[in-house]
Amino acid sequence: MAKKKSVSTGRVGRARRVGTFGAGMGSRLAWAGMRSAGRSDEHKAEVLADFHLRTAEQMRAVLGTMKGAAAKLGQMASFIDSAMIPPEFADLYHEVLAELRDDMPPMTYDELAEMFERDHGGPPDAVFEEFDPEPIAAASIGQVHSARLFGGDPVVVKVQYPGIDKAIMSDLKNAKAFMWLLPVFAPGLEAGPLVKETERALLEELDYRREAAHQERFAAVYRGHPFVVVPEPVLELCGAHTLVCEDVRGTRFDDFVATADAADRNRAAEIIFRYSFGTLYRFGFFNADTHPGNYAFREDGKVVFYDYGAVKQVSADDWRRFVGMTRPLMEGDTQLLFEECVANGFVRRPDKVEPERLHAWLDLVAGRMLRTDGDVTITREMVGETVASTTDPLNDWYSVTKWLNVDPEALLIGRMQIGIMAVLAKMDATANWHSIVREWVYDEVPTTSLGRTDADFFSG
């Protein structure tokens, strides 16, 4: 019998492993400095490259075996550029950490059988005519297998890691231990509701029945769509720890980006943008999990969208608030933008924030692509500046951001926005994003062929 593995679930142990990684990184940096002292520029470059390689590999090793919320951070870091990583080493971190998206340590068959026993009262062989115990993909919460239903239809099965719920609870408790620091760095932030929303979102991802319902909702909206494909879930076979859906595949993200020409990349990028934000503007819900492993590109030009664990429904009032702040940003109306941000609680201390400075920061974060009526290319530098402006207390924008508040309802919207920008940057995507958004915000006629096809589908 295969030796049973387990997910590390202890709060102290998981915190110690991340803490040990941080201490090791500091020691390596100090050692790299001593090795570089008085040496040539070429030698210093070699030492620095070795430092970053070892750091990225240790991040993958530590976060990869932990799974849970800690591994999710590693997965996000694998495709979001940070201005705190030197540009010349960004690809190195991406390549090493990208393994977290698809190469997590797999479960044994005994562990698989345990999860099926919980949901179906028997092993995989009792549920499927065929089941491949070798995973075809893996993530922070579960792994994916190929199977065949009784009757012959091919499906994919996502199986949750045993003990992952306890591991994520440990990660959340460790995170809460540092929440008291938030008001020190961001005095304008109301941390309590934000922590609750983060906890809610992570814990909801553990319930695969909820995810199956989300996926069915998206599938119903996009069933028969000309360029968006959502795999149909097999609801009667979905449980709290196992999710079954039709087997729909395509070229993986990295392979597509490496081989597609600029026109095909731009077309696929527009599809991803329309799917992500169009669903929000049209129907008031969206999928916040945007990492590249959730996309596949078919030869017929359609894009397949996977993973519906992080879906959020936006209320009508919150949608109006969101659009109310979007319009003045698109129109360059500084005063109205400031008033909307104050009225909606985004700026809780208007006496501390200058309207012009707020507008300039929001222009950096989203305004450049929303306000410019012309082609804009999303670059890694844009994403790096955006991330640094919101996370680095030493950044020039800290005098603005420290007084801003993040509404819990907007937390996942922000996660989606940053994630989509990072994905588009990896694709070197170019489009008139302003005109696309105007279709939804101002109900204007589409200006692209994809937009017209999309509009015809939903109008019909």
Q: How confident is the model at residue 291 (pLDDT cuts 50, 70, 90)?
A: confident
DSSP assignment of 75-138 equals: HHHTTS--TTS-HHHHHHHHHHHTHHHH-PPPPPHHHHHHHHHHHHSS-GGGT-SEE-SS-SEE
pLDDT at res. 27: 47
pLDDT at position 131 is 96
DSSP 176-228: HTTGGGHHHH-TT--HHHHHHHHHHHHHHTT-HHHHHHHHHHHHHHHTT-SSE
- Residue ranges per domain, the chain? 11-102, 312-459
Cβ atoms of residues 312 and 285 within 8 Å: yes
| Per-residue model confidence as pLDDT tens digits over 159-191 | 998 888 777 777 666 666 556 556 655 666 676
- pLDDT tier at 50 (50, 70, 90 boundaries)? low
Please state the rounded mean pLDDT for residues 285-289.
Answer: 91
Residue 201 has a pLDDT of 79
Instruction: Decide: pTM greater than 0.75.
Output: yes
Indicate the length of the chain as a whole number. Answer: 460
pLDDT digits (tens, 9 = 90+) for 311-342: 999 888 888 888 888 999 999 999 999 999 99
CB-count exposure of residue 225 (10 Å: 0-12, 13-18, 19+): middle
Query: Average of pLDDT values for 422-451?
Result: 95
With 80 as the cut, is the pLDDT of residue 68 above it? no
Q: Could you read off the pLDDT of 129-162 as tens digits, one per residue?
A: 999 999 998 766 888 999 999 999 999 999 998 8
What is the tens place of the pLDDT at every residue in 335-378?
999 999 999 888 989 999 999 999 999 998 888 888 899 999 99
At 21 the pLDDT is 41
CB neighbours (10 Å) of residue 119?
A: 19
* Phi/psi at 283 (5° precision): -120, -10
Cα(328)–Cα(180) distance, integer angstroms: 34
Mean model confidence pLDDT for the chain? 80
Span 266-293, average pLDDT: 93
Tell me how crowded residue 313 is: count the other CB atoms within 10 A of its CB: 12
The pLDDT, as a whole number, for residue 19 is 46
- pLDDT tens per residue across span 393-424: 777 888 898 898 887 777 788 888 888 998 99
Helix or strand holding residue 282 (H, E)? helix 262-283
Alpha-helical (H) ranges within 363-430 are 368-371, 380-391, 398-401, 408-426
What is the tens place of the pLDDT at every residue in 90-99? Answer: 555 555 555 5
| pLDDT range class, residue 429, cuts 50, 70, 90 | very high
